[in-house]
């Protein structure tokens, strides 16, 4: 269980998040949604231990995130960042293999089991053919799928994903979302902007607006025309399970 307890975060005098409370359900996909600048990425960074809140706390399995060692936390959660990038020209295979680092002892070499896990995750994300490529030889979408493969290779019960499909074409968006949807043993928080994609593949919704959580619950009950109007300022209607926008 991920618990968010009265989380408040400031950047200088700017209030980013205020009094965020939520118990994130295990083994389901929770979409973290809201307009640009509402604090979605900041919230994920807080849960991932990359940012300490000014108020409140995030906890995993009843233990404050800040009380975990980096190694312990890396065995509990994997983070897919919005800006897929690496500073070194590692091959795609080597990048995905880094997902096995939390389980390696100092100076220990990877095992055949680690290599097998990497191959499986790369095949699942359609990146096995890129295994000898370096980032400069890959498109942004290809590198993003490699980063998703690395997170899967980390084999954590929690995945934090910050716009993981934003750089992908529609075919790969669907492929990745289907893959996440079949991962029934994982608790996934995903920042996503496509309302219909979220409605189709996500179970629950944490909807943010101006740094506040305005809804947390089943996604079908939260993505209503009223909430869409309130949060995004646009008119929409539901037709046969799809969200259509009024122009």
- pTM of the predicted structure, to 2 decimals: 0.93
Q: Distance between CA atoms of 18 and 214, rounded to whole angstroms?
A: 11
Asked whether the predicted pLDDT for residue 207 surpasses 80, the reply is yes
Give the pLDDT confidence of 65-88 residue by residue, as tens digits: 999 999 999 999 999 998 777 767
pLDDT tens sequence across 109-167? 788 999 999 999 999 999 999 999 999 999 988 999 999 999 999 999 999 999 999 88
Residue 107 DSSP one-character state: T
- Residue 243, CB half-sphere, CA atoms under 13 Å: how many? 22
Q: Sorting pLDDT into bands at 50, 70 and 90, what band is 107?
A: low
86 vs 51: CA distance, rounded Å: 21
């Amino acid at each position: 269980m991920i618990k968010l307890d009265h989380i408040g975060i400031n950047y200088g005098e700017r209030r980013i998040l205020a009094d965020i409370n939520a118990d994130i359900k295990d083994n389901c996909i929770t979409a973290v949604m809201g307009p640009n600048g509402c604090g979605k990425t900041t919230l994920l960074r807080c849960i991932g231990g990359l940012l300490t809140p000014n108020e409140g706390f995030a906890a995993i399995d009843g233990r404050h995130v800040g009380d975990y060692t980096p190694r312990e936390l890396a065995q509990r959660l994997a983070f897919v960042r919005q800006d897929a990038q690496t500073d070194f020209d590692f091959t795609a295979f080597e990048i995905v293999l880094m997902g096995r680092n939390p389980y390696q002892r100092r100076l220990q070499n990877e095992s055949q089991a680690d290599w097998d896990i990497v191959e499986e995750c790369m095949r699942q994300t359609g990146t096995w053919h890129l295994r000898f490529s370096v980032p400069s030889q890959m498109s942004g979408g290809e590198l993003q799928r490699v980063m998703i493969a690395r997170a899967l290779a980390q084999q954590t019960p929690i995945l934090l994903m910050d716009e993981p499909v934003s750089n992908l074409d529609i075919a790969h968006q669907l492929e990745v979302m289907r893959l996440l949807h079949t991962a029934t043993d994982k608790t996934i928080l995903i920042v996503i902007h496509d309302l219909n994609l979220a409605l189709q593949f996500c179970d629950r919704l944490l909807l943010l607006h101006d740094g506040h959580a305005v809804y947390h619950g089943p996604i079908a009950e939260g993505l209503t025309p009223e909430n869409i109007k309130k949060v995004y300022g646009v008119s929409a209607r539901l037709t046969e399970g799809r969200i259509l926008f009024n122009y």
